[in-house]
Amino acid sequence: MQNIFKYKSGFTLAEVLITLAIIGVVAAMTIPSLVQKYNERVRITQLKKVYSVLSNAYNLAVADYGPFENWGLAGTTDEVDDDGNITVTDYSGMEKMAEILAKYMKVDKWCEVGEVCFPHKVLSLDGDFVISDGAKEARSKTSFYLQDGTYIQMGYVAETYNQWGKYADILVYLPVSGNKDVRRGEHAFYFIITKKGVLPSGYQGDPSTPFNPTCSKRQTVYGQGCTAWVLENENFDYLKCDDLDWGTKTKCD
């Protein structure tokens, strides 16, 4: 009589558990890296978009108002007391620059005087220096949010085209969720207005904020010179290694 019961091979419970454990370890090792790379790609895309928005707004403003030096902007000036506190500041040039450029952008909300506009603590790239504690009230109407959540703040305006090759600074803060801290060079980036238009800070040959040392993980204070690097090299590798430079090494090994 033929035996109707045949032996069937399969996995034991122990083998299944070991396999699942291995899969879990591999996932724990790879998923954070994949998430980080995805978040970096999102920020690169956001930065490229806002660069396009700023450049377009500036070009349209020049078409309507003439060259930047003809906009009639007063230079930003400060007076500081013995304790180092700003006592008198002329923000009129920054306010007018914001008013002009905003006409050509999709502004969702202006930051009003006395309002806490950007409630995130802003740190230097190395995280050792607090640039803003996130609770500072605005002293002027020089910043606004775009419809996509990008926060744009006018920087200092020079009285004339200065020795650093620029007229003014513009700070861009990419959209941030929650209450987490942000760092210059990761979520906050500088652009400058030059005779060539709007340029990303830290471009090759930038005399005011060269990539080295202003976007070096080891040497940086503010992280101001990272913008051009992210736009052109499409990476944040300066957060991982500190021997990068234009034309020689543009990514970590």
Rounded distance, CA 57 to CA 61, Å?
6
The pLDDT, as a whole number, for residue 65 is 95
Rounded distance, CA 114 to CA 112, Å?
6
In three-state secondary structure terms, 104 is coil
Exposed/middle/buried for 84, CB within 10 Å: 0-12, 13-18, 19+?
exposed
Q: Which residues contact 145 (CB under 8 A, 6 or more apart)?
A: 107, 108, 109, 111, 151, 152
The pLDDT, as a whole number, for residue 29 is 66
Find the DSSP H helices in the chain: 13-65, 92-102, 211-214, 227-233
Rounded distance, CA 248 to CA 204, Å?
12
How confident is the prediction along the chain (253 residues), in pLDDT tens digits per residue? 555 555 556 667 776 677 777 777 766 666 667 777 888 999 999 999 999 999 999 999 999 999 999 999 988 877 766 666 666 688 999 999 999 999 999 999 999 999 999 999 999 888 888 888 888 888 889 999 999 999 999 988 987 787 778 899 999 999 988 888 999 999 999 999 999 999 999 999 888 888 988 887 666 667 899 999 999 999 999 998 888 999 889 999 7
